[in-house]
Amino acid sequence: MRRNALLAFLAAGALVGLTGCGSASAPPAGSGKGTSIDVSLNVVPTVRSVTITPAKAKFGDCAGGNADLNTASTSGALGYPNGHCWLGRPKTSFPITITNTGIASYMYVNGANAVPSDTGTQWTLCNPGSKPAVACTSNNGLSPGKNQYVVQNFSPNRKLNPAGLTNAVACDPEFGLTSGCWSTFGQSQREGLLLTGPAEIGDTSTSWTVTVTWTPVP
């Protein structure tokens, strides 16, 4: 009982102390009118953000396809099978600029399905090579199969991303070559893209949209 009484007394004392510290007492009788100062405070930003310029672009400089079937690429149109088109060129042209406009972050990149203008059958991304995230199904895994395509990015740092992009976000190997895609505020990277088209198509649209997204992550 003595112990419980002591604890109750200490708790009451703590409450009294907190009340005295946390509340403002009224000024004494006869005091004049108080005057205050408002002091502003700036804090560093905590937002992660990225800017991509330009917002839109167009593939061109296309080659490949099959002239015997009248499906060879033209300079501005992808041909079949497995034609390819460029946005920029390794060593000479890097039309996409990715800029970190927020706090220090890892810069990740991903692609998405290619969408035809009639919203019909889409192309899915695949990856050439021996350990692909998503295997290509033509030319022993070296080329996209039916309704598949490959997008590879490149920069002045590296000739070409051999694995290509996937739908899942992954560290952009072209961004900050020596820092594992780590970027600080204001850091930018110039890049280009190479697209390799399907061996066969399931949609006859002649206009397609390809989306590539960069995301700053902790």
Looking at residues 121-147, what average pLDDT do you find? 95
User: With 80 as the cut, is the pLDDT of residue 150 above it?
Assistant: yes
pLDDT at 24: 60
Q: What would you report as the CA-atom Rg of the chain, rounded to the nearest whole angstrom?
A: 30
Mean pLDDT of the region 61-67? 97
At residue 27, the pLDDT reads 81
Long-range pairs, 180-184, Cβ under 8 A, ≥24: 180/106, 181/106, 181/107, 181/108, 182/104, 182/105, 182/106, 182/107, 183/100, 183/104, 183/105, 183/106, 183/107, 183/216, 184/100, 184/104
pLDDT digits (tens, 9 = 90+) for 156-211: 988 899 999 999 999 998 887 667 899 999 999 999 999 999 999 999 999 999 99
Decide which of 165 and 17 is more confident. Answer: 165
Q: Name the nearest CA neighbour of 157 among 108, 183, 180, 191.
A: 191
On the CB side of 55, how many CA atoms lie within 13 Å of its CA? 0
Lowest mean pLDDT among 23-32, 34-43, 67-76, 185-194: 23-32
Q: What is the pLDDT of residue 210?
A: 98
Question: Residue 58, CB half-sphere, CA atoms under 13 Å: how many?
Answer: 7
On the question of pLDDT at 23 being above 80, the answer is no
Q: Is 195 exposed, middle or buried (0-12, 13-18, 19+ CB in 10 A)?
A: buried
Asked if the model's pLDDT at residue 9 lies above 70, the reply is no
Q: Taking the complete model, does pTM exceed 0.85, yes or no?
A: no
Question: Exposed (0-12), middle (13-18) or buried (19+): which is 144, by Cβ within 10 Å?
Answer: buried
Is the predicted pLDDT of residue 109 greater than 70, yes or no? yes
Q: What integer pLDDT is reported at residue 64 of this predicted model?
A: 98
